Structure 1
Amino acid sequence: MLEGNDGYLRLEASSPLFAISNLDAVAWLKQQSSSSIDLVVTDPPYESLEKHRAIGTTTRLKQSKSSSNKWFDIFPNSRFEELLKEIYRVLKNNSHFYLFCDQETAFIIKPIAESVGFKFWKPIVWDKVNIGMGYHYRARYEFILFFEKGKRKINDLSIPDILEVKRIHRGYPTEKPVELSEILICQSTVEKEVVCDPFMGTASVGRAAIKNGRNFTGCDLSESGYKIALNNLEKESKNQRSE
């Protein structure tokens, strides 16, 4: 157990392959040592998600007859500067950072990330294969902003900047496929390095890291998400030990 900035005791767990906490992302990052992380892959619950949810274009993300998921707290745009400063601090030199977002949030994130020291390379496009909800030109993609601290080559230069991986249908809110995280992790780390996700949800990034011989550390403010993540990571760790 550990205490968050709100004074409440939170949950935490660790093993030889992972360490996770149930905390606010920025508060948790501030507890991490500088230059201790080899890669950050994360998907913050950005403000525009709430806007789309409010007008009914992200039905699977709200509480309804078709979804039992409880909506999570939004991470406001006003906090991105402190978040990105902490991510830059905890990353080792010569490392990568991937951030999932929509086209609206991309324009907010890029200049802030550059101002704290990151080099922006490009938006990678995640092609979800199936179209989503909407009123016109229905969404089939999401951006993954690709940043660098220092200089590090990706491992496979043949991988394109459009990644075609089918989205998860009726999963945890905004849950990303493990296969998608595997591509990013295998491109930007080697075995035994540490992958981090401060908005881990049910730990698809963590599962991908452990599956590919990396270590994982992360957190999530949602207690329910944390508990599912812990169960998923324990299962993945057991699978790796049995191979």
Structure 2
Amino acid sequence: MPHYRLTDDDAVAWLHSLPAGSADLVVTDPAYESLEKHRAVGTTTRLKQGKGSSNPWFPIFPNARFPALFQALWRVLKRDAHLYLFCDAETMFVARPVAEAAGFRFWKPLIWDKQHIGMGYHYRARYECILFFEKGRRRLSDLGVADVLSVPRVHRGYPTEKPVALSEVLIRQSSAPGDTVVDPFMGSGSVGVAAARLGRDFLGTDIHPRARALTEERLRLEGALPQPRSDDDLLRALGG
């Protein structure tokens, strides 16, 4: 039976609270800085409150914090593990060299084909990038999977919500049943749901309390159980 542990902490601070080498896989989607620029000129409504969502705008994760993020991710990942980071084409050129400086090997950007175009004024976006990084060396489960993943986008869901089926592909490719999947920007918990369905444990955080409540609700519906707190966790909670 898969287990989970959730918080509503800052992503980098939370990663430093985890034991080194405790994650078998990271799949995550920061609210990258370029979204703020697109929202300012009216080309995206994904992160604001509207008819399709009851969720308010949440803070972006600034590019200046990428060095701290990738260093924390390197620390928490086991050797011979993968990292998948969702971003747009603009953020890809910022994130890649920072991740490489932290020690990761960059293989390539995977392309998520959303099957429907988004908002905008010209050449409206139908895809998003998923940067594929490696720590050490790990073989993918299926070498026949293409680098374009065609999965319909989620309509009228949580802001920037990713389809569970998309996360399932990445989790199958880069982990095994019983492994621990980590997402420090979990949002509505689609990565956690995919992990639970595939028999993996899940650790996640998000700075928005609503995200934690929604993720826990979804994980319980999948039959996942809360992970028992260790003595170290209890001491931290008590300020020890």
Task: Kindly provide the CA deviation profile for residues 65-104 of structure 1, in whole angstroms up to 9, marking residues without a partner as x.
Answer: 5543201111111101001000000000000000000001
Corresponding residue to 2:160 among 152, 170, 174? 174
- Give 5+ residue unaligned stretches, structure 2: 226-240
Moved over 6 A (4+): none
- How well do the aligned residues superpose, as a CA RMSD in angstroms? 1.4
1:157 partner SS = coil
1:158 partner SS = coil
**Cα distance in 2 between the residues matched to 1:197 and 1:36:** 13
The alignment status of 1:17 with 2:3, answered yes or no, reads: yes
Q: Could you say which structure has the greater relative contact order, defined with CA pairs below 8 angstroms and 6 or more residues apart?
A: 2
Task: Kindly provide the CA deviation profile for residues 112-160 of structure 1, in whole angstroms up to 9, marking residues without a partner as x.
Answer: 0000100000000000000000111010000000000000000001100
Percent of aligned pairs with the same amino acid: 58
- Whether the aligned pair in 2 keeps the contact of 1:130 and 1:140 (CA below 8 Å) is yes
The alignment status of 1:164 with 2:150, answered yes or no, reads: yes
Query: Following superposition of structure 1 onto structure 2, how do residues 29-40 of structure 1 map, counting pairs within 5 Å?
Result: 29-40=15-26
Corresponding position of 2:98: 112
Query: Following superposition of structure 1 onto structure 2, how do residues 63-142 of structure 1 map, counting pairs within 5 Å?
Result: 63-65=49-51, 67-142=53-128
Corresponding position of 2:43: 57
TM-score normalised to structure 1 length = 0.90
- Whether the aligned pair in 2 keeps the contact of 1:29 and 1:198 (CA below 8 Å) is yes
One-letter code aligned to 2:119: M
Does 58-67 or 157-166 show the bigger shift? Answer: 58-67
1:181 partner SS = helix
- Whether the aligned pair in 2 keeps the contact of 1:128 and 1:164 (CA below 8 Å) is yes
**Cα distance in 2 between the residues matched to 1:51 and 1:142:** 16
Corresponding position of 1:190: 176
Corresponding position of 1:229: 215
Equivalenced residue count is 225
**Cα distance in 2 between the residues matched to 1:103 and 1:168:** 20
1:174 partner SS = coil
**CA shift at 1:60, angstroms?**
3.6
TM-score normalised to structure 2 length = 0.91
One-letter code aligned to 2:23: I
